[in-house]
Chain A
Amino acid sequence: MFTERFSLDGKIAIVTGAGRGLGRGQSLELAKAGADVVCAARTVEEITETAAMVRALGRRALVVQTDVIDSAQMERLVGATLAEFGKVDILVNNAGGGGMQGKPQHEITDDEWRYVIDLNLSSVYYGARAVYPHMAKQGKGKIINVASASGMRGDRRNVAYAASKAGVINLTSALAVAWARDGINVNCISPGPFPTERWQVTPEPAPGSGRARTLPSARFSPMQRGGRMEEMGYLCVLLASNASDYINGQNVLIDGGAMVGGYAPTGYTLDSYLAE
């Protein structure tokens, strides 16, 4: 009776950035929960592979090459979904990224700035705008955006990214308020350290090892591990399903407790501080 609410049987989901990492994780769990999945991203080979994995789970899949910074392509993505499946129930605005790491933050050019804002923030609006009429017409829809802990705190190496993700968090809340009457839920997920092919959680990096592009090490994760892709997927299923019908406008963190501890190194306790 209650567990059935988690089922996505007969639902159609669009996932952007579905070719790898979190987007693939979300696509596969949505499929396991019963949804057919439209896999969108720039790199066709990668989304073709995700689509094959979705089909191997017994669901239908559609591959639509999409660059999310282009609103016309987002409209086309939704159009292709409607043409193939006749409706859209779930949109996961997962695609994003772009960094200015290593660059002095006062030297970001206008083009670089706009690119990061467009890739992370404008793309979310374009996607939401494109599915809105269809979801409003059916009186039901679930939009899930992917934000970041960077959108809640500062990041000295990447201010554009931090600003864009903060935008996603409040855009989520504002769209939820605007569209709740249409039966649409808009929530976002802020993932903590999830190791991917590109991003690794190092167990305990040697000081000065100079290893590039590592996430805060396990030392900074209260659970002392990174997240697993499936775990991102399970949360996505919760927010995509009828099990979360009264959750709306939320930024839901899944980070093993990292943010509530302020990324303080684990083992750092108040009594040890007081004893100093």
Chain B
Amino acid sequence: MPVLKEISLSGNVALITGGGSPWGRAIALALADAGATIAVVSTDAEGAAETARQVEATSHRALSAMVDVRDAGSVRTMVGRVLGELGRIDILVNGEEVIFGRSVAETTAEEFRRALEVNVLGTFLCCQAVGPHMMERGRGRVINMATALSVRGVVNATAYCASKGAIENFTQALALEWAEYGITVNALGPGWFADGPVDVERDRAERTLVRMIPQQRRGVPDDLAGLSIYMASEAGAYMTGQTVFLDGAMLGHL
């Protein structure tokens, strides 16, 4: 089947944080399918190892490691290990995130801080640790995790919405800072996604939700694959600072 050669990631190394989550796993498998070697890291060491096993099962090289993205020292050690073992990092996917939903009245300062630290500070620290290596080589790809909630609100989600709004704007500002080094910084913006099968027939709330999505279905992790490959590849070299939403047209009317 004819496929553009410019989407090939052959010879590239992708570092994926939060790689144990269904989203991180789908991105890892997608980038591996395009030819990249994968380093999967997460606070969830077991999940990261499982993703690495699944990547290796598709005959691509993968390693996994534990990291606390809130801790600069932990991030530096992890990046040093990946560079030591794989020699380079071409693609950084900042997938580690806390999905946190609670009202302001019920949210403690500690919980709010944790959401901001994992989602925003963690993204910052990973970029900071990988940046010099990419700048030195004059090439790099950063893919952050935004969401439709970066640009809309929802009830009982101030911590999550604030952190993801920050990611969209962080992406714009860092894109400008690193543009001259040949590094692009973009974000994926998933809408209503489900990480497993949903029984639309039985679940009334689910039926209502799906009716609100013009495409009449929730997104699944694999829906992130194509855009991830594009943003990670040579084909996406002139796109930077963008959050591209994958939402089945939901933002078009909500």
Contacts and interface: CB of A to CB of B under 8 A. Distances in A.
**A, B bound:** yes
Interface of A: 1-9, 29, 32-34, 173-174, 176-178, 180-181, 185, 192, 222-224, 227-228, 230-231, 234-235, 237-238, 241-250, 252-257, 259-261, 266
A234 B237 CA distance: 10
Given A177-B214, A177-B252, A257-B240, A247 B2 contact: no
Contact of B248 (A2, A8, A180, A222): A180
B238 A238 contact: no
Interface in B90-124: none
Given A5-B225, A257-B176, A176 B4 contact: no
Nearest to B189: A250
Contacts of B213: 180
B159 to A, nearest CB: 25
B241 A261 contact: yes
Given A241-B226, A248-B249, A260-B173, 10 more contacts: A3-B8, A34-B1, A180-B214, A222-B240, A228-B238, A234-B236, A243-B225, A246-B248, A253-B241, A261-B172
A260 B213 CA distance: 28
A23 to B, nearest CB: 17
Contacts of A6: 3-4, 7, 226, 229
Interface in B166-194: 172-173, 175-176, 179-180, 182, 191
24 contacts: A1-B58, A2-B30, A2-B33, A5-B226, A7-B1, A9-B1, A33-B3, A173-B251, A173-B252, A174-B252, A176-B252, A177-B214, A181-B214, A223-B180, A231-B238, A234-B6, A234-B236, A237-B4, A238-B227, A238-B235, A244-B227, A245-B223, A250-B244, A252-B242
B240 A256 contact: yes
B152 to A, nearest CB: 14
A216 to B, nearest CB: 14
A177 B253 CA distance: 7
B240 A223 contact: yes
B250 to A, nearest CB: 8
B74 interface: no
B246 interface: yes
Interface of B: 1-4, 6-8, 29-30, 33-34, 58, 172-173, 175-176, 179-180, 182, 191, 213-216, 219, 222-223, 225-227, 229-230, 235-242, 244-249, 251-253
Given A33-B3, A180-B216, A246-B219, A252 B240 contact: no
A174 B58 CA distance: 40
Q: What are the nearest 7 A-B pairs in CB distance?
A: A243-B226, A180-B214, A260-B241, A222-B179, A249-B252, A234-B235, A248-B249
Contacts of B239: 235, 252-255
Contacts of B240: 222-223, 256-257, 260
B188 to A, nearest CB: 10
B160 to A, nearest CB: 21
Contact of A234 (B4, B182, B215): B4
Contacts of B241: 222, 253, 257, 259-261
Given A246-B215, A256-B238, A224 B4 contact: no
A3 B214 contact: no
B252 A33 contact: no
Given A3-B33, A248-B248, A266 B238 contact: no
Given A7-B3, A228-B238, A256-B238, A2 B229 contact: yes
Nearest to B231: A238
A176 B226 contact: no
A244 B225 CA distance: 9
A7 B245 CA distance: 22
Contacts of A243: 225-227, 229-230
B225 A29 contact: no
A185 B249 CA distance: 8
Given A253-B242, A256-B240, A32 B4 contact: yes
Contacts of B248: 180, 246, 248
Nearest to B216: A181
A149 B8 CA distance: 29
Nearest to A245: B223
Q: Which of A173, A235, A249, A255 has the most CB of B within 10 A?
A: A249
Interface centre among A8, A192, A260 (most CB of B within 10 A): A260
Contacts of B191: 246
Contact of A255 (B34, B226, B238): B238
A223 B1 CA distance: 33
